[in-house]
Structure 1
Amino acid sequence: MNISVEAYARECAAQGLRGDYSVCRADFTVEQNYAYSDAEQEVWRILCDRQTELTRRLAHRSYLDGVETLGLLDRIPDFDEVSGKLSKLTGWTLVAVPGLIPADAFFVHLTHRRFPVTNWLRKREELDYIVEPDMFHDFFGHVPALTQPSFADFMQQYGERAAGLIELGGHDMISRLYWYTAEYSLMQEPGQPLKAFGAGLMSSFSELQFAVESPDAHHAPFELETVMRTTYEIDKFQRVYFVLPSFDALRDAFRHGDLKGIIARRKDEPPLDPASV
């Protein structure tokens, strides 16, 4: 259901969410307002320096290529500057938002190859964990992936189809698919070591190491229906990480998979426990 900016702003205020929703446009975008303090620039560099030590060892090469191409590490990025580079690669641009936005608005932006990025950054005392998605999560985690054509196509297709699939009763199943791919996916190409890719891992100091290197991390091969049926953890390490063989496999599974049929068959069944996958 669509919600007005004013009503959503009231909901966010009642929940104590950060971000100034009162200045949102009708599509829930805002100006980036590049006027970050020296303290905020320092937090950005600390986050990037610390996380880059891990991503260089544990992230999939395509993510690292995206970081190098877009130049995200020296200072808080200017969204317009990065959009100029990204649009030449995959046709995507960035739009500033005050934080979480309604699902309908998010899907519309993805459909038009616009990725919403929060315009504020966590505080120094929140380096290790933050409940809400901030600029570091959105930018350092998600944006480099959009330089990869197959993944960029998947994200657009997700935006195009998600709302219709939710109307069929697939809200939870579609949310799980996004969570286990865009946020917490791993990748292992033939003959290559296991690497991380999802934004939730790229922006997490502790879970990135756990997901790839810990013997306690539970890995399972990516299979569309299984992913859509498996519950996930919001505020703790995932109890399963699905492993993609390639970006093409993800795009093609979503493009050609029988999502409507999966939802029709499984929407009324109990979800799978991650440990049982």
Structure 2
Amino acid sequence: MLTETHAPPPGANADWTVDQDWAHYTAEEHGVWDTLFARQAKLLPGRASDAYLRGLDVLKLSKPGIPDFAELSERLMALTGWQVVAVPGLVPDDVFFDHMANRRFVAGNFIRRSDQLDYLEEPDVFHDVFGHVPMLADPVFADYLEAYGRGGQRALGLDALKYLGRLYWYTVEFGLIAEPQGLRIYGAGIVSSFSESRFALDDPSPNRIAFDLARVMRTEYRIDDFQQNYFVIPSFDALLKATVETDFAPLYDVLKAQDDIAVAAIVEGDAVLTRGTQDYARGKAA
């Protein structure tokens, strides 16, 4: 998502976008997409949120090969006014927030190799498109991401990016939602991961805690392994409401006066839906 370098790389436009150049993808690269897609498409029914699965269907992402962003954006624009724009990699905070505030979702222009199916440190086109874009077909979630982008622009001048980054992490990337049928995943970091799609719902190790805006924004996270705290929203409407009806400037002041909450911690006031065993975390530490 973010980087501190503010000079666009060679070949990129001033806003860091590049031509997707769909024709440059090789048959092997399209095959990697198809392998990843088939694996996740088989796994996600009964695990992913209704909104995610609807988006996957209506955007026709089951079509073989890496999606053409122009075709994808045409469908998405008709649904929620969003479009997908290609970037060569991570982009600066201000660029990221500007695109999002204007309903442009930045997506990596490359795909992982066939020997990297299960983990890639930098988000690629599969994570960005398969993971994120189906949720942009949902009108409420689409509004939430636009509001998040506008909030990010304001946060740049308030020395509060770490708090907003945590909100993104625990919702857009690793969020769970309570649906009538049970807990479901909607965060892109989960739905695009074969192993975490199972871990987040099935494993006894992590805590699953009801979403609270301030609590989430105080909570540290890890980027190199499964999460040990997942936060569960009651609905996308509730997530949007919490975002647009909160005055973030005074909230940031409150958060700055408080200690951060460690990964895997449960604190007073948490509405704990599932108290984890933390066996996975202990095993990794050992």
| TM-score (normalizing by structure 2) | 0.88
Structure 1 unmatched ranges of 5 or more: 7-20
Distance in structure 2 (CA, Å) of the matches to 1:90 and 1:69: 12
Paired with 1:54 and 1:268, the residues of 2 have a C-alpha distance of 43
Contact 2:30 2:65 (8 Å CA) reproduced: yes
Once the two structures are superposed, residues 137-168 of structure 1 have per-residue CA deviations (whole angstroms, 9 ceiling, x without a partner) of: 00000000000111100100111121322322
1:5 is paired with a residue whose SS is coil
The residue identity in structure 2 corresponding to 1:81 is E
Partner residue in 2 for 1:91: 81
Shift of 1:3: 5.7
Q: Give the letter aligned to residue 25 of structure 1.
A: N
Query: In structure 2, what is the equivalent of residue 32 of structure 1?
Result: 20
| Matched-pair contact (CA < 8 Å) for 2:19–2:86 | yes
| CA apart distance, 1:55 | 1.1
Provide the aligned length of Structure 1 versus Structure 2: 262
Give the aligned partner of residue 13 of structure 1.
none
Let me know the Cα RMSD of the aligned residues. Answer: 1.5
1:229 aligns with 2:224: no
How far apart are the structure 1 equivalents of 2:209 and 2:247?
A: 21
Q: 1:198 aligned to 2:187?
A: yes
Runs of 4 or more above 3 Å deviation: 1-4
**Structure 1 counterpart of 2:210, which letter?**
P
> 1:62-81 alignment to 2 at 5 Å?
62-73=51-62, 74-81=64-71
Distance 1:168 1:267 in 2: 11
Q: Is this contact kept in 2: 1:2–1:104, CA < 8 A? A: no
Pick one of 4, 10, 14 that aligns with 1:22.
10
CA shift in 2, pair 1:4/1:175, >3 Å: closer
- In the other structure, the counterpart of 1:261 is 250
Any idea what SS the aligned residue of 1:276 has? coil
Residue of structure 1 in register with 2:118 after alignment: 128
The separation in 2 between residues aligned to 1:197 and 1:3, in whole angstroms, is 30
Shift of 1:22: 1.1
Q: CA deviation at 1:214?
A: 1.2
Are the equivalent residues in 2 in contact too, given 1:169–1:267 (CA < 8 A)?
A: no
Please, which runs of 5 or more residues in structure 2 have no aligned partner? 267-286
The structure richer in helix per residue is 1
Secondary structure (helix, strand or coil) at the match of 1:169 reads coil
Structure 2 distance, partners of 1:179, 1:69, is 26
Structure 1 residues 180 and 4: alpha-carbon distance in aligned structure 2, compared to 1, 3 A threshold? closer
CA shift, 1:258, in A, is 3.1
Equivalence for 1:59: 48
Map 1:32-181 onto structure 2 (within 5 A): 32-35=20-23, 36-73=25-62, 74-181=64-171
| Counterpart contact for 2:173–2:190, Cα < 8 Å | yes
Q: How far does residue 57 in structure 1 lie from its aligned partner after superposition?
A: 2.8
| 1: CA distance, partners of 2:189 / 2:42 | 16
Instruction: Give identity over the alignment, percent.
Output: 44
Contact 2:6 2:92 in 1 (8 A): no
